[in-house]
C-alpha cells in the first residue's frame, strides 16, 4: 500500500480543538436540514421545549411527574 500518513501529537490536536477556525463552518458548505443545519422539525421541537420550560418556571409550586396523594 502506498500513501501518506499524517501524524499529529496530542498537544497540537487539543490546541486545534479550541481554535476559532475550528468553530466556524466552511463558507461553501451546503445547507442540508438535519445534517449541516437543524431540521425544520427540530426547530419546532426546540420551540415547544422552550415554551414548556418557560411555563414550568411560571408555576414553581408543582414538580413535573410528581403526584400528590
pLDDT, mean over the chain: 76
**Report field, pTM of the whole predicted structure over 0.75:** no
Residue 55 in this model has a pLDDT that exceeds 60: yes
Residue 10 in this model has a pLDDT that exceeds 90: yes
Mean pLDDT of 22-32: 79
Residue 62 in this model has a pLDDT that exceeds 70: no
Mean pLDDT of 28-41: 74
Instruction: State how far the alpha carbon of 26 is from the alpha carbons of 6, 19, 37, 52, 55, in Å.
Output: 22, 14, 13, 34, 38
Mean pLDDT of 40-54: 78
Amino acid at each position: 500500500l502506498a500513501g501518506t500518513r499524517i501524524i499529529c501529537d496530542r498537544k497540537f490536536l487539543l490546541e486545534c480543538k479550541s481554535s476559532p477556525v475550528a468553530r466556524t463552518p466552511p463558507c461553501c458548505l451546503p445547507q442540508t436540514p438535519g445534517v449541516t443545519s437543524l431540521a425544520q422539525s427540530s426547530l419546532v421541537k426546540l420551540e415547544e421545549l422552550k415554551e414548556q420550560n418557560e411555563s414550568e418556571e411560571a408555576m414553581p409550586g408543582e414538580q413535573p411527574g410528581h403526584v400528590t396523594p
